[in-house]
Amino acid sequence: MSVVTPIDPVGPVGLPASGRSFRAWVTVASDLVKARLTLMVVLTTWMGFSLGSSPGSDGWTCLHAIIGTSLLAAGASALNQWWERDLDALMKRTASRPIPAGILSPLFVLAFGVAVSVLGLAWLVRSVNLLTAFLGAATLAIYVFVYTPLKTTTELNTWVGAIPGALPPLMGWTAATGELGAGGWALFAILFFWQLPHFMAIAWLYRDEYAKAGFRMLSGGDPDGRRSASSAIRNSIALLFASVVPFLQGISGRAYLSVALVMGGLFLVQAIRFALLLDTHSARRLFFASIFYLPVLLAVLVLDRTIMDRSKEVPSKSSFLRGSSTISVPRPGAFVFNRRFRLPGDGA
């Protein structure tokens, strides 16, 4: 029996839904599509395309890849909230989501999630390529139909959930290259191993709420936190090794390697600190370290690749004698928009 009765919902300030302000509805929409998660999908998809792109890559393809993956992320988030609506009502950190708060009906959220997901897949098929669309479908299926139900049945759900979370940069790579290259898998590995200590910290901080709602997290059967901390250390070490791979593959240079080693080492220190102290403060520090680590690492990766490509724009030694030109290689993200923007289904 549903915990929520979304009839004539009342807003946070006591107003009926019809009197809700525009700003309030923006907040509702943001919660429905998990805006911060969707933003990360956008950024990692762009990063994957940037690092996999070749000189003269079509910028419209990058834009279409971002639109398609964003729609899929929004749809998956809505479907996840529809599925877990009763459990979300039992947790303080999720009770304010649109369905348990009585702002949107479950039927509306279900219809929205299905429609947006289908649109995202169609967008990728029509405007990017079939391989990227296949990865998008796999991301949606694993997140909604595997990870979501597993959260109440097994502690392994965190590892399963890390798979769809790591696929967007690989989708960006395949959108640019049309193939599953080693560079794309390296980006996948970085995102995969980063998520595990990140979620271990969250699960430890909210272990009582997860247990109350019936979610099977590692922290739930780990009263002293040792298993959670050990997992955080192991995956932080794996992340450190994974972060070196782009340098070994020639995707990045020594500047990125230096930052990856320093950042990875500091992140590992926070995981070890959590293992030694096993308290809320150390878990929170590990969480914030993970939030700081990922955007900095990825920004340096793209920036270092940009610098590498620009360094190739070296004039010939005899250019002033022979009038030879420079060798110019576009930086990642400097795509060529050589055709007009078309919506999926538009005629040629």
Per the domain annotation, does 348 fall within a domain? no
pLDDT, position 7: 38
Beta bridge partners of 16: 10
CA 212 to chain CA centroid, nearest Å: 27
Q: Are residues 187 and 275 in the same domain?
A: yes
| One domain, residues 241 and 287 | yes
Does one domain contain both 246 and 290?
A: yes
Quick one: 61 and 199 in the same domain? no
CB count, 10 Å around CB of 5? 9
Whether residue 13 is contained in a domain is answered as no
* 194 pLDDT above the threshold of 50: yes
Claim to verify: residue 174 and residue 186 sit in the same structural domain: no
Residues 216 and 205 both lie in one domain: yes
313's CB contacts (< 8 A; 6+ apart) are 326, 327, 328, 329
Instruction: Express each pLDDT in 291-309 by its tens digit.
Output: 999 999 999 999 998 888 7
Give the residue from 180, 211, 231 where a domain finishes. Answer: 180
pLDDT for the residue numbered 21: 80
Reported as a single tens digit per residue, the pLDDT across 256-294 is 999 999 999 999 999 999 999 989 999 999 999 999 999
Q: Residue 311: CB partners within 8 Å, gap ≥ 6? A: none
Give the percent of the chain with pLDDT over 90. Answer: 64
| Residue 307 domain boundaries | 182-312
Is 83 contained in some domain?
yes
- Give the Cβ contact number of residue 333 at 10 Å: 17
For the entire predicted model, the pTM comes to 0.83
Is residue 172 located within the same domain as residue 186? no
Q: Please state the φ and ψ torsions of residue 337, each to the nearest 5 degrees.
A: -95, 90
Task: Tell me: pLDDT of 323 over 50.
Answer: no
- pLDDT tens for residues 119-144? 999 999 999 999 999 999 999 999 99
On whether residue 322 sits in a domain, the answer given is: no
Q: Which amino acid, 348?
A: A
Q: What are phi and psi of 336, to 5 degrees?
A: -100, 120
In a domain, 162, yes or no: yes
| 271 lies in the same domain as 138 | no
Q: Within a domain: residue 280?
A: yes
Question: Which pLDDT score is estimated for 13?
Answer: 35
Residue 321 pLDDT: 43
pLDDT at residue 332 above 60? no
The residue whose two tokens read 């000189």 is 55
Both tokens of residue 299? 């920004």
**Statement to judge: residues 61 and 110 lie in one domain:** yes
C-alpha distance across the termini of the chain, in Å: 51
For residue 208, what pLDDT band results from cuts at 50, 70 and 90? confident
Q: What is residue 347's predicted lDDT score, i.e. its pLDDT?
A: 47
Residues 171 and 308 in one domain: no
Q: Are 324 and 318 in contact (CB under 8 A)?
A: yes
| 126 inside domain | yes
Domain count, the chain: 2
Beta bridge pairs of residue 58: 336
Contact 108, 82 (CB under 8 A): no
Distance between CA atoms of 34 and 121, rounded to whole angstroms?
19
Question: Among residues 180, 209, 233, which one ends one of the domains?
Answer: 180
- Whether 330 is covered by a domain: the verdict is no
